[in-house]
Amino acid sequence: MPIARREAEIIWEGPLGGGTGTLTSGSGALEQLAVTWASRTERPDGRTSPEELIAAAHASCFAMALALRLDAHQTPPERLAVSAACTLDEVGRAPRITTVELSVRAHVPGLAAADLEQIVGEAADLCPVSKALHGNVEVNVRSELVPGVETTPIQ
């Protein structure tokens, strides 16, 4: 039995160049997101793209895998900031997702930088999105330890 199954649907109207799509997720979290070829290859103008959705999925999945591995090493994170950039390029006269660049900024008290690198590698091996992309897309991960973020209490 699977752990989870999530669904999304897009309704596309018109030809690729001038058409538009509306993406909706089964959970309702992604409700009526506009998608166009121009938002994918030119300017987003408030619309999303498959590459942006892959970047979002990869960043969130990697953050969870890293939090899990840090916890397994008895060094739970106080804060992880993971960003992802997914690149669409032309390969053989066709569009292809070629790379995902992950950037990890971790605030983990008591953790050495060398240990972070090792645990980031463990997270890369564990992350289901990284595994799904493996062999098809170049994935690069850059990580750094950062000091804690001071917060001001809400008054």
148 falls in which pLDDT band (50, 70, 90)?
A: low
Q: Give yes or no for residue 139 having a pLDDT over 50.
A: yes
pTM of the model: 0.89
* CA dist., res. 59 & res. 103, Å (int): 9
User: What is the DSSP track for the chain?
Assistant: --S----EEEEEES-TTT-EEEEEETTSSS-SEEE-HHHHHS--TT-B-HHHHHHHHHHHHHHHHHHHHHHHTT---SEEEEEEEEEEEEETTEEEEEEEEEEEEEE-TT--HHHHHHHHHHHHHH-HHHHHHTTTSEEEEEEEE-PPPP-PPP-
Instruction: Supply the pLDDT for residue 154.
Output: 44
Task: Please give the Cα distance from 49 to 88 (Å, whole number).
Answer: 10
State the chain's mean pLDDT as an integer.
Answer: 92
Whether residue 149 is predicted with pLDDT greater than 80 in this model: the reply is no
Residue closest to 146 by CA, chosen among 116, 121, 124, 123: 116
- Indicate whether 150 pLDDT > 80: no
- Asked if residues 148 and 107 have their Cβ atoms less than 8 Å apart, the reply is yes
CB 108, CB 116: distance < 8 Å: yes
